[in-house]
Structure 1
Amino acid sequence: MPETVEQEIVRRLTEAFAPTELVVNNDSARHHGHSGDDGSGESHFSVAIESAAFAGMPRLQRQRAVNAALGDLPGQRVHALAIRARAPGEAR
């Protein structure tokens, strides 16, 4: 059975950042019928990730690092991705 998009997001982010916390939510049902809804049920996601790799990085650099780790998913198979990335000890 092939990986779901959600499973692929979890795998790629785990491999790239060894997170101490990772929550991936599939928000696609909330966007059913809206722009970017491809009917797959896997088009809109939100990610909350905590990793020591983000220590000292500004927010934009963290966002870019997450997008880079996800490769072709954003823009190809994922229409919308909300990212909250923080280092351990930072406020949630």
Structure 2
Amino acid sequence: MSDVIDMAVTALKAKMGDDSFDGVAKFVVEGEGAIMIDGTGVRAGDEEADVTLTADKETFEEILSGEMNPTSAFMSGKLSVDGDMGKAMALGSVLA
């Protein structure tokens, strides 16, 4: 597992706090790996998901740091979404 994924898991756990996510989402960081988010929390993994969000390392880091809004990233083509758009929007509000 890459250092980027390790850092992202830690950052996502902190961002989500006590909030839970109803469903299963996967963040794919191109060239680094994947992160799973579900009702049990955040972990490294690459499993089936209701929605898969894919971005390069730079875009993902900007979303995590708050420099880039996930919706703006999607609208500009820097973040792709495959699957349940409603789950993607719910995840975006949890991470905002």
Higher percent of residues as strand: 2
Say whether the fold is shared (TM-score over 0.5).
no
Q: Comparing both chains, which one has the higher relative contact order based on Cα–Cα distances under 8 Å and sequence gaps of 6 or more?
A: 1
Q: TM-score, normalised by structure 1?
A: 0.30
Please, what TM-score do these two structures have when normalized by structure 2?
A: 0.29
